[in-house]
C-alpha cells in the first residue's frame, strides 16, 4: 500500500554564511511551498523524423509563511535580494531527510500586513545552476513557542 505525503512533510532551509562557516536555518512557520520544473520544447522536423525535444529546463520555488520574530532566514533573504546575491535554498523531505539544494536568484520577496491577521511573507526564486542531492543528519529547529499575552502578543512581525 502506498503511503501518501502531506505538505507539512516538506520544508525549506536557507544556508547563511558567516565569517568562518555556514549554517542552515529553517524558515519559521512555513504555510506553503512549491517547486516547479518546466521545460521548453524544440520542434524537430528533418527528412528522417518529426517530433519535439527538450529545450531550456528551468526550476523555480515559491515559499510562504507567517512572519515570526527571530527568523534569520527571512531576514537574510530580504537582505540578499537587495544586494543582488544568490541564496542557497534546501528543500527537505522530513520523512527521509533527503535534500535537494541549489543557488536561487530571489525574484520576489513580499510581506503582507492585513489588519487582524498574521503578518505573512512570500518568496519566489529561480534556480541558477544545478541541483545537488544530499541527506541531512537532523532538521534544524523551527520557530520557538509563541508567547501569547506576553508584551507584544507573541506575534512579533520581523522587520
32 in any annotated domain: yes
User: For residue 140, is it within any domain?
Assistant: no
What is the reported pTM? 0.83
Higher pLDDT, 141 or 69: 69
Residue 158: inside a domain, yes or no? no
Whole domain around residue 107: which residue ranges?
7-41+53-135
- 147 belongs to a structural domain: no
Q: State how far the Cα of 66 lies from the Cα of 83, in Å rounded to an integer.
A: 24
* Residue 18 lies inside a defined structural domain of this protein: yes
Judge whether 149 lies within some domain: no
Edge-first strand order for the sheet with 98-112 is: 22-26, 10-17, 87-93, 98-112, 120-135, 50-66, 30-45
Specify if 73 maps to a domain: yes
Other beta carbons less than 10 A from residue 54's beta carbon: 9
For 133-153, the pLDDT digits (tens) are 999 999 888 877 766 544 444
CATH number of the domain to which 90 belongs = 2.30.110
Q: Tally the domains of the chain.
A: 1
Residue 87, strand partner residues: 104
Amino acid at each position: 500500500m502506498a503511503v501518501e505525503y502531506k505538505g507539512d512533510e516538506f520544508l525549506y532551509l536557507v544556508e547563511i554564511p558567516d565569517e568562518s562557516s555556514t549554517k542552515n536555518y529553517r524558515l519559521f512557520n512555513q504555510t506553503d511551498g512549491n517547486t516547479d520544473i518546466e521545460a521548453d520544447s524544440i520542434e524537430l522536423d528533418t527528412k528522417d523524423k518529426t517530433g519535439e525535444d527538450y529545450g531550456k529546463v528551468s526550476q523555480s520555488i515559491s515559499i510562504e509563511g507567517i512572519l515570526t520574530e527571530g527568523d534569520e532566514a527571512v531576514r537574510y533573504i530580504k537582505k540578499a535580494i537587495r544586494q543582488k546575491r544568490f541564496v542557497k535554498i534546501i528543500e527537505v523531505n522530513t520523512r527521509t531527510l533527503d535534500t535537494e539544494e541549489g543557488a536561487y536568484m530571489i525574484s520576489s520577496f513580499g510581506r503582507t500586513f492585513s489588519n487582524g491577521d498574521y503578518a505573512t511573507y512570500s518568496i519566489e526564486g529561480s534556480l541558477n545552476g544545478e541541483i545537488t542531492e544530499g541527506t541531512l543528519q537532523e532538521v534544524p529547529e523551527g520557530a520557538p513557542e509563541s508567547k501569547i499575552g506576553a508584551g507584544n502578543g507573541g506575534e512579533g512581525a520581523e522587520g
